Structure 1
Amino acid sequence: MKEADRKKRNSSRLLELYPTFRVRVEKVIDALETKKLRPRIQDAWRSLADQAIAVKNGHAKILFGFHNVTASDGTPEALAVDLLDDDSPLSPSKNYLLQLAAAAEAAGLITGIRWGVPKKLIGGIDVAIASQDWDAHVKIGWDPTHIQPTDVTVAQAKAGQRPA
């Protein structure tokens, strides 16, 4: 994607996010861009119908998640984004995924980099991030470009609670 298009897409998708979450995601994007990476928000808010398709296709495991959050009037207030590497959207490098996880964690968020990874191997991810070994040989989880908050659960978000 051309740089102007990537930035326009990110700006548009950021508007689908709950404001405090948006600020955190902007920090992640800024941190990655500072390192000359090109993060692109592929998905932010998602309709329940689109979420059902994601579940059917194996890209999601729950029928209501952080991507589906709305205000009481139905306005999108997503609490999740899928932040792809625009230079390699279908096959992001471990370098990108580890830097994404580090930037997300610095902003008070988490990625799916550890999801599905055996407990005995998660420490390798932690060491790689702590030592900034972006090319470490580590096992990557099943949804490593997904970003979400740590201070609210899906059930709480569905009930109207939002991250501070």
Structure 2
Amino acid sequence: MTEQERLRRNAARLLELYPSFSKRVKRMLEDLESRGLHPRLQDAWRTPEDQLRAYRDGYSKLKFGFHNVTGPDGEPAALAVDVLDNSTPSSPSTAFLLQLSDAAEKAGLHSGIRWGLPSRLAAAIDRAIAANDWQARIKPGWDPSHIETTEVTVAQARSGRRPTELPNGSDPNQIERA
């Protein structure tokens, strides 16, 4: 995918997200791009049928997830994205995955890089990110390219609760949780 195609795809996918989540994802993308990386929003909103297919194929553990969230009129308003490295979309490097997790966390988001890992392996990821050691030898969790909101659970999102807007200049990691 060319750089222009990547940028157009990212812009289109950002429109499939809930507005406050979209702002955080955009901040994450800008952070990654400032590091010389080329993040591509591969998936944002999914139809219920696509989510069920992902579940059946073993790519998701949920039949309804953050990718399926809609707005009040049924419009796409996802609270999750899957992010690839446009330079190597089929095999993201450890450096990309660690920096993706770092940028996501700085934007007040959560990544799947630690999912399914024992605490000692998750701690190795924490140490690598804290040291900016992008070449660290780590074992990523089962869905390291998945980025999602931190403010609500899937059950809360399904029942209509959404992340809050951040005041200008607010640190997303210092928001008050409702």
> How many residues get paired?
164
Tell me how far apart the structure 2 counterparts of residues 17 and 72 of structure 1 sit (CA, whole Å).
Answer: 13
Cross-structure match for 2:41: 41
Tell me how far apart the structure 2 counterparts of residues 62 and 6 of structure 1 sit (CA, whole Å).
Answer: 28
| Identity within the alignment, % | 57
Could you list the runs of 5+ residues in structure 1 that have no partner in the other structure?
none
Cross-structure match for 1:160: 160
Q: Which runs of structure 2 are paired with 1:62-77 in the superposition (5 Å)? A: 62-77=62-77
Tell me how far apart the structure 1 counterparts of residues 72 and 103 of structure 2 sit (CA, whole Å).
Answer: 31
Secondary structure class of the residue paired with 1:36: coil
Deviations 1:26-80 (A, max 9, x none): 0110001011100000000000000001011111110000000001211111000
Cross-structure match for 1:88: 88
Cross-structure match for 1:79: 79
Tell me how far apart the structure 2 counterparts of residues 158 and 83 of structure 1 sit (CA, whole Å).
Answer: 23
Tell me how far apart the structure 1 counterparts of residues 9 and 43 of structure 2 sit (CA, whole Å).
Answer: 10
Tell me how far apart the structure 2 counterparts of residues 81 and 37 of structure 1 sit (CA, whole Å).
Answer: 17
Tell me how far apart the structure 1 counterparts of residues 120 and 2 of structure 2 sit (CA, whole Å).
Answer: 40
Cross-structure match for 1:21: 21
Tell me how far apart the structure 2 counterparts of residues 120 and 38 of structure 1 sit (CA, whole Å).
Answer: 30
**Letter paired with 1:104:** A
Cross-structure match for 1:31: 31
Tell me how far apart the structure 2 counterparts of residues 34 and 3 of structure 1 sit (CA, whole Å).
Answer: 15
Cross-structure match for 2:112: 112
Secondary structure class of the residue paired with 2:74: coil
Secondary structure class of the residue paired with 2:41: strand
Could you list the runs of 5+ residues in structure 2 that have no partner in the other structure?
165-178
The runs of 4+ residues in structure 1 deviating greater than 3 Å are none
Give the aligned CA root-mean-square deviation in angstroms. 0.6
Tell me how far apart the structure 1 counterparts of residues 119 and 34 of structure 2 sit (CA, whole Å).
Answer: 32
**Letter paired with 1:17:** L
User: How far apart are residue 137 of structure 1 and its match?
Assistant: 0.7
Deviations 1:121-145 (A, max 9, x none): 1110000000100010111001001
Cross-structure match for 1:99: 99
